[in-house]
Amino acid sequence: MEPWEEEEGPEVVKRFMYVNRRAPYGTIYALECLEVVLIAAAFDQDVSVVFVDDGIYQLKKDQDTTAIGMKNFSKTYRALDDYDVEKIYVEKESLEKRGLTADDLIIPVEVVAADNLRDIMAQQDVVISS
Amino acid sequence: MSKMLHLINKSPFDRNALDSCLRLAQAGGSILFIEDGVYAAMSRAASAEDVSKRMQDLNFYVLGPDVSARGLDDTPLIDGIDVVDYGGFVDLVVEHDVAQSWL
């Protein structure tokens, strides 16, 4: 066995949750987190992505950034499915406060109440928030 | 007394800039929502009621390019808010004596 080869062992899969709390263009957090999620998804871990607070604005349909000269990265969320990231949660309370519904979002999501999201969050091994 | 243009560029759900501005803006002035501040111009947002309360004594504007970028072109605005483009932004700055950014 060569030194760079890893010893075969039982595969450890950890539960990673990425919590998005920021609107898409006012700061760089949203784009950076999306890139981290796509990279992390390549490592065959159990990945969940959560959108709460202003993070839900990242998923708003019909974004057109032509006039502000920034990259429209909203369509990249559709790639999450291709990376087998299928656990995508949106907090119900955050949607309601902003007057939005799941129909306003660019991808299908699971809308969960804070009570349920709390339990899902508590089951994670690693939680990364931005 | 100077006529003031207030610039709000933060989401009303993330920061309290809008609250402070609504509390402290002198009647006759104007508020322009830009960047993440445009979320405050949406009529279905929970913050809309506070904005509506000052619709009588302040002028309200929202920057169109920032509305489009955030996918809000078809989302109803609060009644009485005018959409301006970058040229309109410049006009507002010129028409007012002072511009204050609520960072």
Which of A63, A91, A101 to probe by mutation at the B interface, max B CB count within 10 Å?
A63
At residue A2, the pLDDT reads: 73
Tokens at A34, concatenated? 């999306």
Separation of alpha carbons A24 and A33, rounded Å: 10
Q: Sorting pLDDT into bands at 50, 70 and 90, what band is A124? A: very high
**Residues of chain A with C-beta less than 8 angstroms from the C-beta of B38:** none
- % of chain B at pLDDT higher than 70: 100
Residues of chain A with pLDDT > 90: what percent?
A: 85
- Identify all chain A residues contacting B11, using CB atoms and an 8 Å cutoff: 23, 26, 54, 57
Angle at CA A123, nearest 5°, toward A121 and A127?
Answer: 50
Averaged pLDDT score across all residues of chain A? 94
User: Using the beta-carbon criterion (under 8 Å), do B70 and A63 form an inter-chain contact?
Assistant: yes
Nearest to A23 among B11, B46, B74 (CB): B11
- The more confident residue out of B24 and A45 is B24
Beta bridge partners, A112, equal: A91
Question: Testing the interface with B: which of A54, A75, A101 to mutate, by most B Cβ within 10 A?
Answer: A54
Residue whose pair of structure tokens reads 């062992």 in the numeric block: A9
Which whole number is the average pLDDT over B50-73? Answer: 98
Q: Which residue of A has its CA nearest to B35?
A: A26
- Can you tell me the mean pLDDT for B60-67? 98
Minimal C-alpha gap between B29 and chain A (Å): 25
- Quickly state the pLDDT bin for A93 (edges 50, 70, 90): very high
Q: What is the mean pLDDT of chain B?
A: 97
Strand partners, A17: A48, A127
Contact B43/B80 with Cβ under 8 angstroms? Answer: no
Contacts of B42 in chain A (CB under 8 A): 98-99
Q: Which stretch of DSSP H or E encloses residue A126?
A: strand A126-129
Measured from the Cβ of residue A66, the count of other Cβ atoms closer than 10 Å reads 10
- CB of B101 closer than 8 Å to CB of B9: yes
Calculate what percentage of chain A has a pLDDT beyond 70.
94
In angstroms, the separation between the Cα of residue A23 and the nearest Cα of chain B is 7
- Helices in chain A by DSSP H: which ranges? 29-41, 92-97, 114-122
Identify the domain containing residue B55 by its residue range.
4-101
Q: What is the pLDDT of residue A8?
A: 67
pLDDT tens digits, A6-60? 666 667 889 999 999 999 999 999 999 999 999 988 888 899 999 999 999 999 9
- Token pair 């708003």 in the structure block, residue: A60
Chain B interface residues (partner A, CB cutoff 8 A): 9-11, 13-14, 35-36, 39, 42-46, 48, 64-66, 68-75, 85
CATH of the domain spanning A15-60+74-129, picked from 3.20.20.20, 2.60.40.1120, 2.40.10.10, 3.40.1260.10: 3.40.1260.10
Question: Minimal CA–CA distance to B7: which of B25, B50, B65?
Answer: B25
B88, pLDDT greater than 70: yes
Domain count, chain B: 1
Which residues does residue A51 pair with via DSSP β-bridges, in sequence order? A20, A90
B61/B81 Cα distance (integer angstroms): 5
Q: What is the CATH number of the domain that holds B39?
A: 3.40.1260.10
Instruction: Spell out the domain ranges in chain A.
Output: 15-60+74-129
Contacts of A34 (CB under 8 A, 6+ apart): A58, A73, A76, A77
